Amino acid sequence: FTSNGYRPRTIQRLRLGADSEGRLLALTHDGLTSMSHPALGEFSEPVGLQSEMLYSSANNAVTHRLVPLNAPLPTYMRAPGEASGSFALESAMDELAAALKMDPLELRLRNYAETDPHEDKPFSSKALRQCYADGAEAFGWARRPVETGSMRDGSALIGWGMATATYPMNRSEAGARIVFDSDGTVAVQSGTQDLGTGTYTVMAQLATDALKLPLHRVRFELGDSDFPKAPVSGGSQSAASVGSAVLAAADSAKQRLFEMALAAKRSPVAGASVDDLELSDGFVRLRSAPHRQIAVPALLARNRLERLVVEGDAKPGDEKKRYSMHSFGAQFAEVRVDPELAQIRVTRFVGAYAAGRILNMKTARSQALGGITMGIGMALMEATRIDPNTGRVVNSNVSEYVMPVNADIPDLTTIFVEEQDRMINPAGVKGLGELPIVGAAAAVANAVWHATGIRVRDLPITAEKILV
């Protein structure tokens, strides 16, 4: 708690102006973010970035300011900027919808940005409209009454809320190594990490697809400084960065094997060209005559090699100069409020996400569940308490820093809208680690307002804030 940092405090002021049809005419977002004493370092959390590009508004103004405090230094926490900023923006959009007596989803659809209004670029892909549709259908949003406090289950108040999620596609330079062993197995190596995000799995899958080998013959190795360099696990960039490097290394490995096969004496593919060959199931073979083939272990033996080692790297080009690249999602929450105890429980949650190519549905769902759970914790429980006199964290233990556990989390429904986007990177992925937390707290807060008629603008939403 003391040495590792925390999500910084923010004070955010938004002003929204719209015509009678709900179309935004102006949006301003002023963000004030805490930092520590400059001697300890600097940290900035840009809470207004999504306000620049998420909705189509005739006029936008976003400012960020920092306030140095004699307190521990904040740090990066899942979706830095977007997680905090989305609570403010999506709460404000909900308030605007109420003022217009308009459905919150309809308001967002009326201000759907077909192109990035801030950078004046087309999106490389954007399936947010489908996320809205799929999420709303799964949740049953069409049955939501407009009036607050109008849904009950016995004495309990029921509320429905929603919010939009977005997160930029990030990518850094990365390297990977392909090692063909004489026993027919392949090692794929990169100096990346797996924080539980499924890197082991999806990188092995990418290599398997590229090399056309069964998964049990491919292993992914990481965490060694002797391996090709890879970026940190942050910004939802590992799959895009390392995945692109794995594909580059696989392409280089195939080319090397093809050249070796063509140069081998009495080769079954002699007389062909590289373009005539394919690698499949551990054999280099002629596309037009698959029976003319040579096994990779035999090819290594002919060249007196115990293994073949090939490296590849990949780095971003100028695609971000031409396109705006983001993942998107739609969050829908149901809460149940006990009006006597002011107890809030999230009873349903649906998240629909468009994040490019989904490499593995199980690991993707795991990321979504974790992000939603953290969003629920952000909305209802988690808060770092700092003594204003000493600057010390006073609840630096898991007894007083309350986090959600299994009993606090309902069944979560996740939906993935597949996108085919080859403009972003060779792997076609946008990243999914941060996206599901963005807008989750806002969806819960909007649901609390729909249930109680009480608008809470500071997190977490605890009992004393909704007692009447």
Catalytic positions are 434
Q: Nearest Cα to 212, choosing from 191, 242, 186, 230?
A: 186
Residues in the chain: 468
Residue type (1 letter), 350: V
Q: Nearest Cα to 44, choosing from 16, 84, 2?
A: 84
Residues in contact with 286: Cβ distance below 8 Å, sequence separation at least 6, in sequence order: 268, 269, 272, 276, 277, 292, 293
What's the 3-state SS for 401-445? CCCCCHHHCCCEEEEECCCCCCCCCCCCECCCCCHHHCCHHHHHH
**Residues 94, 95, 98, CA angle at the centre, nearest 5°?**
90
Residues in contact with 209: Cβ distance below 8 Å, sequence separation at least 6, in sequence order: none
Dist. CA 352–CA 133, nearest whole Å = 9
Tally helices (H) and strands (E) across the chain: 10, 17
Question: What one-character DSSP code corresponds to residue 78?
Answer: S
Environment class of 160 (CB within 10 Å of its CB; exposed 0-12, middle 13-18, buried 19+) = buried
Dist. CA 446–CA 9, nearest whole Å = 21
